[in-house]
C-alpha cells in the first residue's frame, strides 16, 4: 500500500508540472471506492492551482473546488503530456492543457472525490480524524506522548492506526521502532518520555529518508513520472526475517500483529 512517503513523492513528481493547467476532459473507467461527487462535466474548464497532501490524500486545489485523491491499496498516478490508450486498470484520467493525470488501480480501492471546499461534510469525513503530520512542525512531542499514554495497545498498532500520527505504514513503523530501540509489542502507555521522544525523531528520520529515496517499491509503486523507490534496499529490519541484524548480527524475527507482519531485532529492541 502506498504510504506517506510514496504519496509525498508522487505529489512532488507532478505538482509543478500541473500547476495552472486547465481541465479539458475527464475519462472514468470502472467505479472506484467512492463516487466522484459531481458530474465529470463540472470539472471542465477548472484550473489546477496547487497540489497539497494530508496524510495519504493528495489535495488538488482547483480555482473552484478541490479534488481529493487516494491511491488505495495498489494505486499509482502517472502524469505525462502523452499517454497510451487507457488499460483495464486505468480508472480515471484528468486531461489538462499541460498533460494527463491518470490513476491506475488494479484493486480499485483508490478514489477521486470532488468537494466544493474542505469544510464539506465529505471532506471532513475523510480528513477530519487524521493525526499529526510527522514531517511538519505540528508533530508536537507533548501531544504525541499524551496520545501514547491513552492507549494500552501495542505501540506499533497505535502508529498504524493513523489517528495520532499519519502515514507511518507497516514498513516505516518497523523501521522507526528499530531506530528508537523499542520492541513493537510494548504497550504504548508504557513508553517513557525519553522513549517517546526517540520514537518521534525516529519517525521523522525514517520518513524523511524514505522521501529522499523515492519511497519504497515493494511491488509496482512508481511516482507520477515513472520512477521507482529505493528505500526498501536500506531497510534495517523490514522484510529481513532470519537475516542477521545489520547492527548486532542477531537474526531478525517476524511476528504477526493485527494481520500484518512485524519485523524486529530481539537484541536491539529490548524495551
The structure's pTM equals 0.91
Domain ranges in the chain are 4-127, 141-264
Averaged over 26-54, what is the pLDDT? 97
Q: Is the pLDDT of residue 1 over 80?
A: no
Which residue intervals of 66-185 are DSSP H helices?
Answer: 121-127, 141-149, 155-161, 170-180
For residues 219 and 75, give the distance between their C-alpha atoms in angstroms, rounded to a whole number. Answer: 11
- pLDDT of 264 reads 98
Averaged over 190-216, what is the pLDDT? 92
Buried b (16+ CB within 10 A) or exposed e, 67-101: bbbbbbebbbbbbeeeeeebeebbbbbbbbeebbb
Cβ–Cβ contacts within 10 Å for residue 228, how many?
13
Selected from 3.20.190.10, 3.40.1120.10, 3.90.960.10, 3.40.630.10, the CATH number assigned to the domain covering 4-127 reads 3.20.190.10
For residues 160 and 127, give the distance between their C-alpha atoms in angstroms, rounded to a whole number. Answer: 16
- pLDDT of 215 reads 75
Contacts of 249 (CB under 8 A, 6+ apart): none
Q: What is the pLDDT of residues 85-132, one digit of tens each?
A: 999 999 999 999 999 999 999 999 999 999 999 999 999 999 999 999
Q: Name the E strands within the chain.
A: 23-28, 48-54, 57-62, 66-70, 76-80, 90-96, 99-104, 111-115, 253-257, 260-264
Contacts of 153 (CB under 8 A, 6+ apart): 187, 188
Q: Is the pLDDT of residue 233 over 90?
A: no
Q: If you count DSSP H runs as helices and E runs as strands, how many of each does the chain have, helices first?
A: 6, 10
271 or 201, higher pLDDT:
201
Sign of CA pseudo-dihedral 211, 187, 141, 57: positive
- Give residue 222's pLDDT band: very low, low, confident or very high (50, 70, 90): low
What integer best gives the mean pLDDT of the chain?
A: 93
Q: Is the pLDDT of residue 186 over 90?
A: yes
Catalytic residues: 2-3, 56, 260
For residues 240 and 262, give the distance between their C-alpha atoms in angstroms, rounded to a whole number. Answer: 10
pLDDT above 70 covers a percentage of the chain that reads 94
Q: Is the pLDDT of residue 223 over 70?
A: no
Selected from 3.30.1490.20, 2.40.37.20, 1.10.8.50, 3.40.50.1980, the CATH number assigned to the domain covering 141-264 reads 1.10.8.50
- Give residue 224's pLDDT band: very low, low, confident or very high (50, 70, 90): low
Amino acid at each position: 500500500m502506498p504510504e506517506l512517503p510514496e504519496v509525498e513523492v508522487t505529489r512532488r513528481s507532478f505538482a509543478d508540472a500541473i500547476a495552472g493547467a486547465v481541465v479539458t476532459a475527464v475519462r472514468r473507467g470502472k467505479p472506484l471506492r467512492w463516487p466522484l461527487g459531481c458530474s465529470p462535466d463540472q470539472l471542465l474548464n477548472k484550473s489546477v492551482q496547487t497540489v497539497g497532501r494530508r496524510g495519504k490524500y493528495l489535495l488538488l486545489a482547483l480555482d473552484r473546488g478541490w479534488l481529493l485523491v487516494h491511491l488505495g491499496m495498489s494505486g499509482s498516478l502517472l502524469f505525462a503530456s502523452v499517454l497510451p490508450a487507457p488499460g483495464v486498470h486505468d480508472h480515471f484520467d484528468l486531461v489538462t492543457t499541460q498533460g494527463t493525470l491518470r490513476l491506475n488501480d488494479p484493486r480499485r480501492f483508490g478514489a477521486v472525490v470532488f468537494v466544493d471546499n474542505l469544510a464539506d461534510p465529505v471532506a471532513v469525513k475523510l480528513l477530519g480524524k487524521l493525526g499529526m503530520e510527522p514531517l511538519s512542525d505540528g508533530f508536537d512531542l507533548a501531544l504525541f506522548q499524551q496520545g501514547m499514554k491513552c492507549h494500552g495497545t501495542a505501540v506499533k498498532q497505535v502508529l498504524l492506526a493513523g489517528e495520532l500520527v499519519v502515514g507511518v505504514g507497516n514498513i516505516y513503523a518497523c523501521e522507526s521502532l528499530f531506530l528508537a530501540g523499542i520492541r513493537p509489542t510494548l504497550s504504548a502507555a508504557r513508553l517513557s518520555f525519553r522513549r517517546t521522544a526517540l520514537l518521534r525523531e525516529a519517525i521523522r528520520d525514517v520518513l524523511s529518508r524514505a522521501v529522499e529515496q523515492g519511497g519504497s517499491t515493494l511491488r509496482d509503486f512508481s511516482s507520477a513520472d515513472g520512477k521507482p523507490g529505493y528505500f526498501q534496499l536500506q531497510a534495517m529490519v523490514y522484510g529481513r526475517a532470519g537475516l542477521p541484524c545489520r547492527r548486532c548480527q542477531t537474526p531478525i524475527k517476524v511476528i504477526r500483529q493485527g494481520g500484518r507482519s512485524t519485523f524486529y531485532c530481539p537484541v536491539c529492541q529490548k524495551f
